A and B are shown apart, each in its own frame.
Chain A
Amino acid sequence: DQQVKQNSPSLSVQEGRISILNCDYTNSMFDYFLWYKKYPAEGPTFLISISSIKDKNEDGRFTVFLNKSAKHLSLHIVPSQPGDSAVYFCAAGGSAQKLVFGQGTRLTINP
């Protein structure tokens, strides 16, 4: 039972444009959501999080939007830069300490 789903395995965006990565979840008990970025041969690194009581959180070029009624969140990156090319994972957490991860979306920024 996949509680967190990223339905797009890959996404290609032109440099300078907006990248939008999507994530859906099934468990309404999740209290917060996070996005991680992963480069090859490195561990995932934390990007941004959002509490379930909010619908938006912004940090520089990165904004996360949460739609609780649709059980959907998205990560917007604007403007996209070549260094943003990586695999992005969405994750969810609640009262349990562990995070549940999606399958990841590989983002490629084209010059």
Chain B
Amino acid sequence: GAGVSQSPRYKVAKRGQDVALRCDPISGHVSLFWYQQALGQGPEFLTYFQNEAQLDKSGLPSDRFFAERPEGSVSTLKIQRTQQEDSAVYLCASSLRSVSGANVLTFGAGSRLTVL
């Protein structure tokens, strides 16, 4: 597609449930990022893939968070045993970094997770 597509757009989960959030990046973009945005805050980095390789997962807040990109295109962010503090918008972004210059990320619309 023309842009980064995320699903579901909205997810309500009961505390303790597992959730899975999907991201379809822009075709041909080798880099894929997941960010978490809490209400009134800026996006916070979670993890980064280059093709299928997860090169940086330093931002994942706990071992309940897991991300994968098995074929180097679609990615899934999984949150196990959700807690109320996991409520946030989860943003996916992809990029095709130029040889020089800024790494411009193109973001999807996000998946808003509410944990009750």
Chain A residues with CB under 8 Å of chain B are 4, 6, 9, 32-34, 36, 41-46, 49, 51, 89, 93, 96-104
Contacts and interface: CB of A to CB of B under 8 A. Distances in A.
Contacts of B59: 98
A105 B42 CA distance: 10
Contacts of B102: 32-34, 49, 51, 93
Contacts of A100: 45
Contact of B31 (A34, A51, A97, A104): A97
A100 B59 CA distance: 11
Given A34-B104, A43-B110, A46-B105, A97 B50 contact: yes
A41 B89 CA distance: 10
Contact of B103 (A42, A43, A93): A93
B107 A97 contact: no
A43 B43 CA distance: 10
Nearest to A41: B109
B31 A45 contact: no
Interface of B: 4, 31, 33, 35, 40-45, 48, 50, 55-56, 59, 91, 93, 95, 97, 101-110
Contacts of A46: 104-106
B106 to A, nearest CB: 7
A98 B33 contact: yes
26 contacts: A4-B42, A6-B42, A32-B102, A33-B102, A34-B102, A34-B104, A42-B109, A42-B110, A43-B108, A44-B43, A44-B91, A46-B106, A49-B101, A89-B43, A93-B103, A97-B31, A97-B33, A97-B48, A97-B56, A97-B103, A98-B33, A98-B48, A100-B45, A101-B35, A101-B42, A101-B44
Contacts of A32: 101-103
